Amino acid sequence: MSMIEGKGKAMIFAAGIGSRLKPITNTKPKALVEFNGRTLLEYAILKLKYYGVSDIIINVHHFSKQIIDYVNTHDFGVRITISDESDELLDTGGGLLKAKDFFKDADSFIVYNVDVISTINLLDFYKFHISNNALVSLAVCKRNTSRYLLFDTSKQLCAWENTQSHEMQIIHEREEYFQLAFSGIQIISTKIFDLISEEGAFPIMQLYLRLAQQHKILAYNHSQDFWLDVGKFDKLQDVEKQIANQPLEYLS
């Protein structure tokens, strides 16, 4: 199974500290935490490979040498490049910008958070992105969380809301909003790099809220899929129970 037009490039966000998975992440990066005998990084790589991605860049910071050594000693059948943020953690937006040159020969690419495990069909997601001519397509689903993205009937990003702190940032005023949670999976057009004026470390969602004023930042609702944020679990055994019976065909 291959991506549309063979555009098989992707980025895995793996630079995070993994504070929610302490004490495990006191000695290893979140990306190398294991479930059912596989690291989170392997889950992400195999997922992307299954859908035709052959060229992956991984950003690293926390215990970066461990990830670099892991990649150098394992052959996943894809080309892997490291974006080294050892000296400074650049957040999601800065991390994306640092990897800009990697995507210079691509049209659109996938970005996948390393702590996400999901049965989302990336080919369907990619088709949605291309057919809608989106600048960014965000995988979202209906679930309980404290932070939501708000979209209108045309699936356009209109606002961000934190229900715990009661903060809200509105870009487009609408009579009705659809409240959905970001899944940590996205497809981005390389056109975005010409629109980034931010520098250093910055969150990618703030960039999207700025760009949503004039560009298509769209919701891809995959609420029917299994989705798991491993970083939110206190016990690894609970994660293994969650994924044990899921049809993760790309792991076969």
Residue 22 confidence class, pLDDT cut points 50, 70, 90: confident
Domain locations in the chain as residue ranges: 4-247
What does the alpha-carbon distance between residue 157 and residue 140 come to, in Å, rounded to a whole number?
A: 11
Under CATH, which number does the domain 4-247 receive? 3.90.550.10
Q: Which of 17, 96, 37, 29 shows the shortest CA–CA distance to 69?
A: 29
User: Is the predicted pLDDT of residue 5 greater than 60, yes or no?
Assistant: no
Evaluate whether 212 touches 158 at the Cβ level (below 8 Å): yes
What does the alpha-carbon distance between residue 248 and residue 245 come to, in Å, rounded to a whole number?
A: 9
Evaluate whether 162 touches 146 at the Cβ level (below 8 Å): yes
For residue range 174-209, list pLDDT tens digits in order: 999 999 999 999 999 999 999 999 999 999 999 999
For residue range 31-69, list pLDDT tens digits in order: 999 888 899 999 999 999 999 999 999 999 999 999 999
3-state secondary structure of 96: helix
**Three-state SS annotation for 133-189:** CCCEEEEEECCCCCEEEEECCCCEEEEEEECCCCEEEECCCCCCCEEEEEEEEEEEE
**pLDDT value for 1:** 44
Cα end-to-end distance, the chain, whole Å? 14
pTM summary value: 0.93
Instruction: Say how far residue 211 (Cα) sits from the centre of its chain.
Output: 18
Q: What is the DSSP letter of 190?
A: G
Q: Which of 141, 125, 147, 144 shows the shortest CA–CA distance to 225?
A: 141
User: Is the predicted pLDDT of residue 235 greater than 80, yes or no?
Assistant: no
Arithmetic mean of pLDDT, 128-149: 96
